[in-house]
Structure 1
Amino acid sequence: MKLLKNSKIKNKIVLLRVDFNLPMENGRVLSDEDYRVKAALPTIKFLLKNGNKIILISHLGRPNGRWDENYSLKPLVSHLEDIIGEKINFIEDDIRGLEKINCDKICLLENIRFYAEEEENNEKFAKKLASFADIFVNDAFSVCHRAHASVEAVTEFLPCFIGLSLAREIDILDKAIKNPAHPVAVIVGGLKAETKVKVIGNFLPKADFIMLGGVVANTILSVRGEEVGRSIISPEVIPAIKKMKVADIKLTVPVDVVVSKDLDGVGGTTTIQISGVVKDDIILDIGGKSADLFCSLIKKSKTIIWNGPMGRADMEIFSNGTKAIAKAIGRSGAYSIIGGGDTIAVINKMGIMDKFSYISTGGGAMLEYLAGNKLPGIEALK
């Protein structure tokens, strides 16, 4: 793989894949949620310093291959200009009808997912993208698990390089997988269970502690024969869980949980032992004893990898377990890698982003990589 930092690219037009998929409110970027823009800054500055012109490609949300004003990148332009310190030309035109893109220093294409061809990984569309530039640079780790035209297919038509942020992310995750400082703690929560179970399986021989919350914990508890009531589980991962040693001493599941009869806790909440869960309960957070147990293991760890909240952390009444984990990691002194949009949203709201060693720009991509899967966007750069 060719690293941008080792290149001598000068005075070229560079197609730069970034991820500016940022949360917005009333058409404005939430300034405390723009860590992905800041992650791309070193690559942008490196290219500009060497006299290159940059065509930025990004997506926003899931517009399903059609133009939708709610997902336009136009509101990002002034915010990007403030951060980057350069004028940005916004290209609103349908690029399929353009022969050339006039770019002074930096231009930003409209949401690449407005084109159905993007998610189809369409080669003709990728060739059109490539026709605007001399070089392709991927600096968007968070989309590398997607076989999309601006991630994978475009690499067939241009010389390709790995951006500074993407290279750093790969290095950090490789070190966590291959040569971490022990004891190693892996903390997994959240809703999406399939890839997370693969991560657990990949780390069982390597990690010293694996702490589970969310849907993965619910599903493992169910496999162990515990009552989980009406809590969300993932039946599709049960065969994979059964292949693991679910009684493995490394797997730490909640010993107590916060339950309610409804998802919003309107009818009240109760903290009970796992053995006390009944058929109409919904588990929505780990309990205080579980948090204390997890925090005691965190305190012993030298490397910590965390993806996914412990419960429904978007609601304050169900965020205590996640916050306890965040605080414990922040003061542990361990090398910590944090990923996943919901997890990052919590620690950002707590104002403790700077307490962690590395904030991954990818949620799904981070999980796929930690699970040992090949990422199309990275494989295409080899």
Structure 2
Amino acid sequence: MAWKTLDDMDLAGKVILTRVDINVPVENGRVTDATRIERIAPTVKDILAKGGKPVLLAHYGRPKGAVVPQMSLAITLDALRAELGVPVHFAGDCIGIEAKKAVTALPAGEVLLLENTRFHAGEETNDSGFAESLAALGDVYCNDAFSAAHRAHASTEALAHLLPACAGRGMQAELTALEAALGTPMRPVVAVVGGAKVSTKLELLGNLVGRVDYLVIGGGMANTFLAAQGIDVGKSLAEHEMTDTALEIFDKASAAGCRIVLPVDVVVAREFKANAENQTVEADACPNDAMILDAGPDTVAKIAEVFGQCKTLIWNGPLGAFEIEPFDAATNAAAARAAELTRAGALVSVAGGGDTVAALNKAGAAEAFTYISTAGGAFLEWMEGKVLPGVQALDSAK
């Protein structure tokens, strides 16, 4: 990749337009989860340390090009000040006279947050005029919002072509981790893909079978693949209409030399609720009146063996109904094995996606992984092999 980092830029005395993702959950006027704000702190602090003036660009919610007071970024100010430990000022617009005055008045060593970029229709249409109005405020552009990199918006794409541009620390870490996992990985590579439906991850599966050595399929998706092989999955969640597609993925994997790993035993129950009465059976022995809710211990042993043979792991999606016990057992056990191998230096492990992060946190394994991506759509589109406009713009930046 040809993108630059903060280390490549002269920031002293310059205004650094810094695209961040602080689209955080809020309840009763307070930020309830400051994870995304914590993630931008290294970038902002490095800019300050290098003598730059960070001016933050961000979106909040979906105001669709109109000013919606309830979606003002002012709601994040207290959390930003607490995390950054310096004064954070606010301007009621992200372009125009008010924004320009606020930028001009910004003291060294302090931070300015501009109002929601999506209050302007030109943001989501990637309008060049709006991007030029943003560019007029600064000297350097820094993108630290990987989670928005799959959007070709003015503040994530067009702006990178108008100013000297670089990746922030969060973006740098994300791109470095993803390149290590799928760009130029240490082989063999194993991907774990779980979740409910094959139909939502078709492009992902199609891309991975041509790029990894092992593909572990779990969750409801695994039921669809079992059914495609003629196995009766009882009342399990399965997309029987996707049989032909599943068989095509089998064929593509075979041609590419990718081994698909499916459950060999499963945990079944007749009710979808916590601690429901359950039993473990062979994958082809699900009772007609039962549903598959997790992979069994033999499957976990098989997955653990594959992990032990591989050098790189990419994980997206749980292996079972991880939200309810005891159907979180397979996800927890496989995650623990991945964490153990990562700690031992035997495995590079990268994971992402909302359910994935929740599952790995629940398993107590997330901290041991090499990298956990907080991006949702951007992480999935990267796994699907798609070009991310925000990243491509940095590659070809001015």
TM-score, normalised by the number of residues in structure 1:
0.84
Paired with 2:140 and 2:197, the residues of 1 have a C-alpha distance of: 36
Structure 1 counterpart of 2:135: 130
Structure 2 counterpart of 1:6: 8
Q: Structure 1 residues 37-46 or 138-147, which shifts more?
A: 37-46
Tell me which amino acid in the other structure corresponds to 2:386. Answer: N
Q: Deviations over 1:209-233 (max 9, x none)?
A: 2211134323333333334445154
Please tell me whether residue 226 in structure 1 is matched to residue 231 in structure 2.
Answer: yes
What does 1:38-77 correspond to in 2, within 5 Å?
Answer: 38-62=38-62, 64-65=64-65, 71-77=71-77
Structure 1 residues 26 and 239, CA gap change in structure 2 (3 angstroms):
same
Shift of 1:167: 2.5
Cα pair 2:147 2:378 within 8 Å, conserved? yes
Q: Deviations over 1:313-351 (max 9, x none)?
A: 344454332222221111123221121122112333454
Match of 1:169 among 165, 169, 174: 174
Paired with 1:18 and 1:346, the residues of 2 have a C-alpha distance of: 26
Structure 1 residues 136 and 247, CA gap change in structure 2 (3 angstroms):
closer
Match of 1:242 among 241, 244, 248: 248
Paired with 2:366 and 2:278, the residues of 1 have a C-alpha distance of: 29
Structure 2 counterpart of 1:290: 299
Shift of 1:270: 5.3
Structure 1 residues 290 and 26, CA gap change in structure 2 (3 angstroms):
farther
SS of aligned partner of 1:276:
coil
Shift of 1:132: 2.3
Structure 1 counterpart of 2:17: 15
Structure 1 residues 362 and 223, CA gap change in structure 2 (3 angstroms):
same
Structure 1 residues 165 and 224, CA gap change in structure 2 (3 angstroms):
same
Cα pair 2:94 2:114 within 8 Å, conserved? no
Structure 2 counterpart of 1:301: 310
Paired with 1:133 and 1:214, the residues of 2 have a C-alpha distance of: 47
Shift of 1:242: 1.0
Q: Deviations over 1:152-206 (max 9, x none)?
A: 1223433322223323322222222243333322111134756744444434354
SS of aligned partner of 2:113:
strand
Structure 1 residues 70 and 286, CA gap change in structure 2 (3 angstroms):
farther
TM-score, normalised by the number of residues in structure 2:
0.81
Paired with 1:316 and 1:101, the residues of 2 have a C-alpha distance of: 56
Please tell me whether residue 368 in structure 1 is matched to residue 381 in structure 2.
Answer: yes
SS of aligned partner of 1:168:
helix
Structure 1 residues 192 and 144, CA gap change in structure 2 (3 angstroms):
farther
Q: Which runs of 5+ in 2 are unaligned?
A: none
Larger of the two Rg values belongs to structure: 2
Please tell me whether residue 143 in structure 1 is matched to residue 148 in structure 2.
Answer: yes
Q: Structure 1 residues 149-158 or 246-255, which shifts more?
A: 246-255
Cα pair 1:183 1:300 within 8 Å, conserved? yes
Cα pair 1:216 1:234 within 8 Å, conserved? no
Cα pair 2:157 2:389 within 8 Å, conserved? yes
Q: Structure 1 residues 276-285 or 338-347, which shifts more?
A: 276-285
The CA RMSD over aligned residues, in Å, is 3.3
Number of equivalent positions = 380
